[in-house]
């Protein structure tokens, strides 16, 4: 198991498709802040709570990309049911592994709940490695406001 990225490290490049098939790459966000949010699974209580908090506090946040190992059809249903206005990216585990948040137990794999606030130069400025779903959005909004001045 790789260790999670730390603050001050360069964010590893990625190229992932969202539930609609659109490609999102780290380099597409060069020059702006980005919140990369890894979550274990669509439709679970903690993940639903966390992503709905992000949805409700979106105005105070940078662009947000949410990543899990779920397939596109599951992401589409989850986003529609909870009116999530940001992309849900489909990872095969490679990106989660490079960010140090891929977990395994026997044949099962999932992403650890973690988020990375990446600055316009591609450097991780905040690593949220054990966020509480109900207050994670507020913490990110406060840090983003302070760091982006």
The torsion defined by the Cα of 24, 6, 31 and 18, in degrees rounded to 10, comes to: 10
pLDDT attached to residue 57: 87
Q: Which residue did the predictor score with more confidence, 126 or 61?
A: 126
Q: What is the mean pLDDT of the chain?
A: 94
Residues with a catalytic annotation lie at 47
Three-class secondary structure of residue 93 per DSSP: coil
CA gap 46, 44 in Å, rounded:
6
SS3 114: strand
Domains and CATH numbers, the chain: 26-147 (3.40.30.10)
Total-model pTM: 0.94
User: Looking at the predicted structure, is the pLDDT value of residue 99 above 90?
Assistant: yes
Q: What are the helix (H) ranges across 10-135?
A: 45-56, 72-82, 94-98
């Amino acid at each position: 198991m790789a260790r999670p990225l730390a603050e001050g490290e360069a964010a590893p490049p990625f190229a992932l498709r969202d539930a609609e098939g659109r490609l999102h790459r780290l380099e597409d966000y060069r020059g702006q802040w980005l919140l990369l949010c890894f979550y274990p699974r669509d439709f679970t209580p903690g993940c639903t709570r966390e992503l709905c908090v992000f949805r409700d506090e979106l105005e105070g946040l940078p662009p947000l990309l949410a990543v899990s190992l779920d397939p596109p059809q599951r992401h589409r249903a989850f986003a529609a049911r909870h009116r999530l206005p940001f992309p849900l990216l489909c990872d095969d585990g490679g990106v989660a592994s490079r960010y140090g948040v891929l977990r395994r137990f026997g044949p099962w794999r999932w992403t650890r709940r973690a988020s990375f606030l990446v600055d316009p130069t591609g450097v991780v400025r905040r690593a949220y490695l054990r966020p509480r779903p109900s207050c994670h959005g507020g913490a990110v909004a406060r840090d983003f406001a302070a760091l982006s001045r």
